[in-house]
Amino acid sequence: MPDVLIIGAGPAGLAAARAARRVGAAVTLLDASDELGGQYWRHLPASRPAERENLLHHGWSTFTALRAELEADTGCTIVRGANVWAIETREGRPGAVFVVVGEPDGANREQRVFEPDALVIATGAYDRTLPFPGWELPGVFTAGAAQALAKGERVAIGSRVLVAGAGPFLLPVAASLAATGSTVVGVYEANRVKALMAGWLPKPWQVLRAAKKGGELGGYVLNHLQHRIPYRLGTAVVRAEGTDRVESVTLASVDALWAPIPGTERTVAVDAVCVGHGFTPRLELAIAAGCALDGDDFVGVDEQQQTSIPSVYAAGEITGIGGVDAALAEGEIAGHVAAGGSVLDAALRPAVAHRRTYRSFGRRIEDAHGVRAGWRGWLTDDTVVCRCEEVTYGALRGAATATGGESLRSIKLASRAGLGICQGRVCGRTVEDVLDSLSPGHSDGPRSAAEDRVRTDRRPIALPLRLGELADEPTLS
C-alpha cells in the first residue's frame, strides 16, 4: 500500500485525499491552517460555529461530506497547523518533506519529516492586488483578505466600502461584505465590455456545460439588485486618499489596456476599499521540489496531474486559476493516480470531464478579466511597490538603472524589493512585472525576470522559520 502525502487541505487536497483512500493508499493530509477547507471553504472554527455557515458558501455540503469521510477514516492521518517549509527531491523522486507543526511563528513547534512514496502538492494561490498611490493606507484591503475576514471571522472591513479590480471574484466578495453589514458603494471592473465578450462569448456550448456557474452568477446578480450595488466596467481605483486611514478613493475610466483616461477622474468617499486583480499560484514548494513551470508560470502537469518529477503530482490553483470545480476535479485525478490508479479508470471519467470543462472556464476568466499592461500608468514615483521594505516605484526604477541591467537578483539586492517579511508573496509578481517592463525589449532596463531565471518565489525555505527550528533534529514520521 503506497504512502501518499498531500500538502494543502483546500478543495484540491481534500478531493485528492478521498480519491487516494478509495484506491487503498495510506494518506497523510497536511495543512498550515487549523481548519480544513482552504480558501474557498474558509469558515468559523468549531469552537464558535455559525448558525448557518452555508450562507456564505457554495457547495458547503460537498465540503462537509468530504471532511466527515476523511475525519472518520483511520487510513487518513490529518495534521492541522502543519507548515511545510522545504521539500527535497532525491534522484528525481519525492524525497524528504520538512514540516513544523504548531502556531504560525509559535514557540516550541514540533519538527517532522515525511518520506512518502508519492506527493500531491495542492497549495493554492495568493490573491493579487496591483499597487496604486495610497494603497498602503489602513482601510485598503486586498479582495482575498476582505473575503477571509468575512468568511473566517464574520468581520466587516468597513461600513461604506468600494470594491474594485478585475475578475469574477469581486462578486462573491461584494456579496460577503453585504452579508456582514457593509454598504457596498459599487463594484468596479477594470476590463471593458469588449474584453468580457472576447472571453465569455466564443463557443457558448462550453459555458453551458458549466451551468452550475450560471446559477452562482444569477445569485450574485440578485444580490447586487437587492443591495442596490452598482457594477461598472472600464473603471479602476487609481488613488486612495486619507490622513490616518482611507477617507476616499479616486476612480478613473481606463482604456482597453487599463491606461487611465485623462479627465475622467472622480472621487468617492469611503471608509474602506477592497481591491483584487486575480490570483497568483503559490509555487514555492513546487519549485523547491524541482517541478517545471509551464509557459504561463503555473506548475506544468500531464493528463495524470503528474509534474515533471515522477511521483510528484499537483492539483488546484497552482496548475492554473480555474476555481473550486477545477480544483476538485484535478485533486481527484491526482490522488487516484498517486495511489496507483490510472487516469483511464472508469471511476475517473466524471472528474476528467469536469477538468476539461472547468479548465476552459479558467481560460475564459483570464481572457475576459486578465491584468493588462497599462496599469503602470497609475503609478507615480513615490507609489510604494514593496510594502514590507517600503520600496517605491521610483526607487525600483533607480535601482534598475544603477545596477546597469544586471538581473532581477541584483535589483532585489540593491533596492530590497521582495526581501521583507512577506518574502515577495504580496509584491513579487508586481516587482517582476515592473522589471520586465524595464527590460531590453521595452527600454534600456535590466534583463527580464524570465530571462535570468531568477524568481521571487524560488526560495529554499518556503515559510518564515526560527533559527532554532532550523537547527533542531526533526522526527521521521
Ligand X SMILES: Cc1cc2nc3c(=O)[nH]c(=O)nc-3n(C[C@H](O)[C@H](O)[C@H](O)COP(=O)(O)OP(=O)(O)OC[C@H]3O[C@@H](n4cnc5c(N)ncnc54)[C@H](O)[C@@H]3O)c2cc1C
Contact positions vs ligand X (CB under 6 A): 7-13, 30-33, 38-40, 82-84, 122-127, 144, 147-148, 169, 172, 279, 282, 285, 316-317, 323-324, 327, 462-463
Name the minimum Å distance from CB 8 to ligand X.
3
The answer to whether 304 and 148 are in contact (CB under 8 A) is no
Q: Nearest approach, Cβ of 300 to ligand X (angstroms)?
A: 16
Q: How far is the CB of 285 from ligand X (least distance, A)?
A: 6
Of 82 and 329, nearer to ligand X (C-beta) is: 82
The answer for residues whose C-beta is within 8 angstroms of residue 34's C-beta and 6 or more apart is 45, 80, 81
Nearer to ligand X by Cβ, of 31 and 469: the residue is 31
* Beta pairing, strands 235-241 & 248-253: antiparallel
Measure Cα distances from 389 to 93, 244, 384, 395, 417 in Å: 37, 20, 9, 11, 6
Whichever of 217 and 256 has its CB closer to ligand X, that residue is 217
Distances (CA, A) of 246 to 131, 137, 162, 250, 269: 15, 6, 11, 11, 9
Cβ–Cβ < 8 Å for 288, 460: yes
Q: Provide the sign of the torsion angle of the four alpha carbons 221, 226, 231, 237, taken in this order.
A: negative
In the complex, least distance from residue 128 CB atom to ligand X, rounded to whole angstroms: 9
Burial (CB count within 10 angstroms: exposed 0-12, middle 13-18, buried 19+), residue 315? buried
Other Cβ atoms closer than 10 A to 108: 9
User: In this structure, are residues 384 and 391 in contact, taking their beta carbons and an 8 Å threshold?
Assistant: yes
Least Å distance, CB 317 to ligand X, is 4
What is the chain's alpha carbon radius of gyration, rounded to the nearest angstrom? 22
Name the amino acid, one letter, at 245.
R
Cβ closest to ligand X, residue 161 vs residue 285: 285
Closer CB to ligand X, 170 or 388, in the complex = 170
Intra-chain end-to-end CA distance of the chain, in Å: 16
Nearer to ligand X, 11 or 134 (CB): 11
Bridge-partner residues for 384, per DSSP?
392
Residue 44 CB, nearest approach to ligand X (Å): 14
Tell me the closest approach of the beta carbon of residue 126 to ligand X, in angstroms.
6
Rounded CA gap, 58 and 62, in Å?
A: 9
Task: Tell the smallest beta-carbon distance from residue 352 to ligand X (Å).
Answer: 18
Q: Report which of 13, 96, 26, 42 is spatially closest to residue 282, judged by C-alpha positions.
A: 13
Closer Cβ to ligand X, 192 or 282, answer by number = 282
C-alpha cell at 400: 534598475
CB of 295 to ligand X, least distance (A): 20
Q: Which helix (H) or strand (E) holds 307?
A: none
- Supply 358's cell numbers: 472547468
CB of 168 to ligand X, least distance (A): 8
Residue position matching grid coordinates 532596463: 445
Closer to ligand X by Cβ: residue 271 or 317: 317
Angle formed by the axes of helices 211-226 and 170-179, to 10°? 50
Q: How far is CA 243 from CA 129, 135, 137, 142, 247, in A?
A: 22, 13, 8, 20, 8
Task: Closer to ligand X by CB, 125 or 384: give it.
Answer: 125
Hey, is 426 helix, strand or coil? Answer: coil
Q: In the bound complex, what is the minimum distance in angstroms from residue 281's beta carbon to ligand X?
A: 9
Which is nearer to ligand X, 161 or 399 (by Cβ)? 161
Name the residue nearer to ligand X (CB basis): 101 or 391. 101
CB of 97 to ligand X, least distance (A): 10
Q: Which is nearer to ligand X, 389 or 457 (CB)?
A: 457
Pairing, β 235-241 against β 231-232: unpaired
